[in-house]
A and B are shown apart, each in its own frame.
Chain A
Amino acid sequence: MTAFALSPRTRKRLVNRGLDVLTWLVVALMLAPVFWLVASSLQNDGQLARGSYDLLHPTFTAFKNMWKTVDFERYFINSVIICTVAALLATAFASTAGYALARFRFRGARPFGLAVIGTQLIPGSMFLLPLFIGFLWIKQHLGIQLFDTRVGMILVYTAFFTPVAIYFMRSFFQGIPRDLEEAAQVDGCTPFTAFVRIVLPSAAPGLVATFVYAFLFAWDELLFVAALTEHNAETLPLGIRLFIGNYSQYYGQLMAAGVVATIPVVIAFFAAQRWLVKGITAGAVKG
């Protein structure tokens, strides 16, 4: 009732303050599960099983014990190596392919561009088994072990995340003025050396963003690593499930493992945040 008595200006200010409060409420709601992850990782397993929290007395025991309960280090190192190398390779392949799509008009450019999007339409379950068979075939005929090796997983992830990386790099190259390369070619560079010496360095932010983007995706992958590894090349998503079994309920350590598994991607994300956000939104806004 009183709202009608207020002057329009005061009413507008009240509405604005209300929306501010709403915004921060939404932020809090979005962050609440993350807070709960961290808070739970700082309790001990017994407390979590009973659901009794003591937020004022955090303990780091879960972070200490998790490495003994599960051989978590092995999973972690595998994840770091496989995802880093695969993301680097995907970025390298995507930088040349993205450049070709951004700068050259060539026969087959459009089919290639469509094929790049088309790969996203294939469900993982579709080529998982043939890939597994392919690994066996290579082992039998060429003697190269790919199943349950880091090299095998790197190969798969490189191919997996090259398509998204291509679209990412393409939009970055489209943002670089052509004059640079043209000037370089006048000065005697071939188109390729102009690309390597002039274009790539000025696309450095794009390369970093693409690398981080591919890394985030690789870090998240579960289906292929579950089917194509057995012991040696297993990564974090497989390791983290071992904290909860039929006979063990290490919830505190599970949450601690969740925090540890998230830290590398958080670092990578915030290191490249500005360019990453630019790449994602440019890709979506320009289509």
Chain B
Amino acid sequence: MSTPTLQPQVSADVTRVDVPASPPPKRRRKRRNPLPYWLIAPALVVMLLIHVLPAAGGVVLSFKKFNLFTFRELFGAPWNGLENYRSILLDSDNPLHSGFWGAVQNTAVYTFWTVTGTLVGGLAIALLLNRKMRGQRVARTLMLVPWIIPSYVVAVLWAFMWQSDVGIINKVLVDYTHLLGHRPVWLLGPNTMWAIIIPSIWRGLPLAILIFLAGLQAQPQEVHEAASIDGAGPWRRFRYITLPLIRPLIGVQLLFGVIYAAYQYAIPTVMFGTNPGPDADLMMTFIVRQSFSNSLYGLGAAASTMLMLAMLVWVAVWYRVFRRDLEVT
């Protein structure tokens, strides 16, 4: 009553537009009610203003010659065609060409290990926690803790632990357990990749455990019992009952895990600064550094666009593989 605009009658003439397409009996149900549009309006407006419009602007900038000298012209900067794309993709004279491909390769390695480690580890731990055990609830709650630690705290903490001479990790590996004969350098050179992958897995595990555990608990117990009576061992029950049932959960986590890992920025940046070095430079650190430290805005925008395209391809591939699981859920 206080909101007269939301009365259903208002929509009467709006409805007429799409009535002919729908069969007569359904006409009344298809009457367009303006309420849902009012309900999504605030979210739609902020998403348009902060996500869609600027992202479109980013694509436009990727075709512009936009750097420190042309910055004052903003979107009036001269067009550059596909030059930004060509120079980083193909131009071997451009010093950034190899940096870009290095970042692509690093991001692929980082994403593969982070996602694999998180999903495999998460499922294994979820299976452990799904057993009847004293203190089961305490164990499950404690397992969630790493997920709440902010990623910048994760990064400073692990950088502190990775220190070669006085870091606790080398102390445990070398001094206490003698697993390694020498002290590896973690924060410089090839090991830097592991220095960011391992904390990422550590922080990602709790969420994976949580989701897998929910999936495991939702499984019908009778199926397991029946299979057990028929003589199926633990491995076969896992392979032929558990795995197919949690396949949709693996799918969902793969989809978002890959995107999240490919867009990782906080952990390498906080750990190593704007330039993590050739062994741990990811796409995002590369793009942000070229855009903001080196003022190559157009080039950064082109690299961002390609990163997004790569993720669109990933979503398409994912959809082909997991389409049937979407229908189940």
Contacts and interface: CB of A to CB of B under 8 A. Distances in A.
Interface of A: 16, 19-20, 22-24, 26-27, 30-31, 33-34, 36-37, 40, 48-51, 92-94, 96-97, 99-101, 103-104, 106-109, 112, 115-116, 119-131, 133-134, 136-137, 155-156, 158-160, 162-163, 166, 190-193, 195, 216, 219-220, 222-223, 227, 236-237, 240-241, 244, 251, 254-255, 258, 261-262, 265-266, 269, 273, 277, 280-281, 284-287
B326 A96 contact: no
A108 B33 CA distance: 12
A96 B39 contact: yes
Contact of B153 (A51, A193, A258): A258
A27 B152 contact: no
A130 B202 contact: no
Contact of A190 (B1, B49, B150): B1
Contact of B301 (A101, A129, A195): A129
A255 B157 contact: yes
Nearest to B269: A222
B100 interface: no
B109 interface: no
Interface on chain B toward A: helix, strand, loop, or mixed SS? helix
A36 B74 contact: no
Nearest to B206: A30
Given A106-B37, A107-B18, A284-B249, A127 B150 contact: no
B323 interface: no
A30 B301 contact: no
Given A106-B33, A123-B284, A96 B55 contact: no
A96 B40 contact: yes
A273 B166 CA distance: 36
A58 to B, nearest CB: 17
Given A23-B129, A125-B304, A134 B54 contact: yes
A285 B215 contact: yes
Interface string B20-52: 000000000000110111111011101101111
Interface of A (DSSP majority class) = helix
A182 B171 CA distance: 65
Which of B6, B157, B158 has the largest number of chain A CB atoms within 10 A? B157
Given A122-B51, A126-B308, A190-B6, A222 B152 contact: yes
Given A20-B133, A120-B259, A126-B308, A155 B211 contact: no
A162 B151 contact: no
A115 B53 CA distance: 13
Nearest to A34: B145
Closest 3 CB pairs of A and B: A51-B166, A159-B50, A130-B57
B54 A131 contact: yes
A96 B46 CA distance: 14
Nearest to A160: B50
A137 B2 CA distance: 38
A106 B32 contact: yes
A15 to B, nearest CB: 10
A133 to B, nearest CB: 5
Contact of B75 (A104, A106, A133): A133
B35 A191 contact: yes
Interface string B180-223: 00000000000000000000001001110011011100100000
A273 B152 contact: no
Contact of A284 (B56, B151, B252): B252
A227 B292 CA distance: 8
Interface string B290-323: 0110000100110111011001100100000000
Given A112-B44, A222-B269, A258-B153, A130 B54 contact: yes
B300 A37 contact: no
B165 interface: yes
Given A22-B128, A125-B291, A126-B54, 13 more contacts: A30-B143, A33-B161, A49-B166, A106-B32, A126-B59, A126-B305, A129-B58, A240-B152, A240-B153, A280-B207, A281-B211, A284-B253, A286-B329
Nearest to B157: A37
